């Protein structure tokens, strides 16, 4: 029997491969002779670099870039095992965790450091860039990202616009004459929620601006600035990003990718699955086990277990999930191909205790699931039914 174990992280507790290894250890107590394939998984957000570096035998690269408020920060990106693909999380250069709560200000924060990460990848000869769009502290429409790549944003007097989303309301001219020519020779994919719009009630400013430090007046100001930005992009660059799903991801960085590169925006879970060759690897397995820290109705909308289950279902492979906890709407996961799910917390506990006991809880749950599976196989043989 061959079992594939493909897990996302249990947030604040265990990394993806650590989760997979604990599940393997529990199953191996019941099925010691089984062949196990353990792989990390992610959905394009936090943890994507780690998952793809580990999953492809790649390496992490440390570097210094411009942070969200213009100060230098220590950052990183990954390079795949074959050296061709760079994996970047925009949050590593322009994410909320880089700022204290009182520093959050989407009127001024910039994605400039994200562009610097892309340039660092180009310097290392990467031909394919995967850019995870999540966890941003910015609302600049990707303008800072574009500036790092050579784009100039000018007001009506020919002056360079300062950083931040608010300044886009004064945008009069976009100068593309100094854009780094290496961009035309690479494949760039934005890993994101492809439903996010750039502007309007469901746009970047209204939906995510408040968590980045914007009050209601700021939200209106930022949304109007992005609307103006979109009009100028259409008039001067011929790129219509106003109503493109995904353009609003990461404070509009999705729009910047579409406007200034030949990037494609795709669900992050699909990009990660392609890089890990899950469809190919699932062809000869008998069971797929997936998991994440918390599974609920939102998990069916593009999270890692959903992607794993969809690919396994296409291969005709059964899927079960072992998760930290379950929440409202978790039954929706049956619709995407997960046959059964099991949470690992045995009793009410404080968060600190749950985190401390996570390895033991995952391993014990996996062993009990395996024992139940084995009992069903034995009963099937005794009754003459197929295993």
- DSSP 8-state class, residue 119: H
Q: How remote is the C-alpha of 5 from its chain's centroid?
A: 19
Element (H, E) at 63: strand 59-66
User: Which segments of 16-142 does DSSP mark as H helices, in order?
Assistant: 16-28, 48-56, 91-94, 112-123
Q: Tens of pLDDT along 327-360?
A: 888 888 888 889 999 998 887 777 787 778 889 9
User: Which segments of 278-357 does DSSP mark as H helices, in order?
Assistant: 278-281, 304-314, 351-356
Q: Which of 319, 252, 238 is nearest to 41 (CA)?
A: 319
Distance between CA 385 and CA 29 in Å, rounded? 25
Give how far Cα 282 sits from Cα of 132, 239, 364, 386, Å.
Answer: 25, 39, 25, 21
Burial of 114 (0-12, 13-18, 19+ CB in 10 A): buried
Q: For CA atoms 262, 274, 367, 329, give the dihedral sign.
A: positive
Q: Are 209 and 218 in contact (CB under 8 A)?
A: yes
Distance between CA 132 and CA 114 in Å, rounded? 10
3-state secondary structure of 64: strand
Q: Are 147 and 262 in contact (CB under 8 A)?
A: no
**Largest Cα–Cα distance of the chain, in whole Å?**
85
List all residues 6 or more positions away from 283 whose beta carbon is below 8 Å from its beta carbon. 315
All structural domains of the chain: 2-40+278-382 (3.40.50.10350), 48-269 (3.90.1510.10)
List all residues 6 or more positions away from 36 whose beta carbon is below 8 Å from its beta carbon. 2, 3, 4, 5, 24, 27, 28
Tokens of 127: 């031909």
Dihedral, 161, 166, 169, 175 alpha carbons, nearest 10? 30
Dihedral, 372, 373, 378, 384 alpha carbons, nearest 10? 120
Q: Are 168 and 140 in contact (CB under 8 A)?
A: yes
Distance between CA 325 and CA 84 in Å, rounded? 37
Directed axis angle between helix 16-28 and helix 358-382, to 10°?
Answer: 40
Spell out the per-residue pLDDT of the chain, length 387, in tens.
999 999 988 876 788 899 999 999 999 999 999 999 999 998 888 889 999 999 999 999 999 999 999 999 999 999 999 999 999 999 999 999 999 999 999 999 999 999 999 999 999 999 999 999 989 999 999 999 999 999 999 999 999 999 999 999 999 999 999 999 999 989 999 998 778 999 999 999 999 999 999 999 999 999 999 999 999 999 999 999 999 999 999 999 999 999 999 999 999 999 999 999 999 999 999 999 998 888 888 777 778 888 999 999 999 999 999 998 888 888 888 888 899 999 988 877 777 877 788 899 999 999 999 999 998 887 766 665 555
Q: Tens of pLDDT along 94-104?
A: 999 999 999 99
Q: Are 203 and 146 in contact (CB under 8 A)?
A: no
Q: Are 52 and 275 in contact (CB under 8 A)?
A: yes
Q: Which of 249, 165, 246, 244 is nearest to 204 (CA)?
A: 249
Mean pLDDT rounded to a whole number for the chain: 92
Q: Tell me the whole-structure pTM to 2 decimals.
A: 0.88
Tokens of 377: 């196989």
Q: Tens of pLDDT along 246-262?
A: 999 999 999 999 999 99
Q: How remote is the C-alpha of 124 from its chain's centroid?
A: 23
């Amino acid at each position: 029997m061959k079992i594939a174990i493909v897990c996302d992280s249990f947030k604040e507790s265990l990394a993806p491969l650590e989760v997979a290894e604990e599940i393997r250890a529990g199953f191996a107590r019941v099925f010691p002779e089984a062949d196990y394939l353990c792989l990390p998984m992610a959905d394009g957000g936090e943890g994507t670099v780690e998952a793809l570096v580990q999953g492809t035998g790649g390496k992490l690269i440390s570097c210094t870039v411009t942070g969200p408020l213009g100060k230098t920060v220590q950052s990183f990106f990954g390079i795949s095992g074959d050296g061709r693909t760079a994996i970047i999380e925009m949050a590593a250069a322009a994410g909320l965790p880089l700022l204290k709560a009182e520093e959050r200000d989407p009127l001024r924060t910039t994605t400039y450091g994200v562009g610097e990460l892309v340039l660092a990848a180009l310097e290392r000869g990467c031909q394919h860039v995967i850019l995870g769009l999540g966890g941003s502290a910015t609302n600049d429409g990707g303008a800072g990202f574009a500036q790092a790549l050579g784009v100039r944003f000018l007001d009506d007097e020919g002056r360079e616009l300062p950083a931040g989303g608010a300044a886009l309301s004064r945008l009069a001219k976009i100068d593309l004459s100094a854009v780094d020519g290496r961009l035309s020779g690479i494949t760039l994919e934005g890993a994101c929620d492809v439903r996010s719009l750039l502007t309007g009630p469901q746009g970047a400013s209204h939906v995510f601006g408040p968590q980045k430090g914007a009050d209601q007046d700021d939200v209106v100001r930022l949304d109007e600035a992005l609307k103006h930005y979109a009009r100028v992009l259409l008039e001067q660059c011929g790129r219509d990003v106003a109503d493109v799903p995904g353009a609003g991801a990461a404070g509009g960085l999705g729009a910047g990718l579409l406007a200034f590169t030949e990037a494609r925006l795709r669900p992050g879970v699909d990009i990660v699955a392609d890089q890990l060759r899950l469809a190919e690897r699932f062809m000869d397995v008998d069971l797929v086990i997936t998991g994440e820290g918390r599974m609920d109705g939102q998990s069916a909308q593009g999270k890692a277990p959903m992607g794993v289950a969809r690919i396994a279902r296409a291969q005709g492979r059964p899927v079960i999930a072992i998760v930290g906890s379950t929440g409202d709407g978790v039954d929706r996961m049956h619709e995407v191909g997960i046959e059964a799910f099991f949470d690992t917390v045995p009793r009410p506990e404080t968060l600190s205790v749950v985190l401390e006991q996570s390895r033991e809880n995952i391993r014990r749950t996996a062993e009990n699931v395996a024992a139940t599976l084995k009992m069903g196989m034995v009963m099937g043989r005794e009754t003459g039914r197929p295993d």
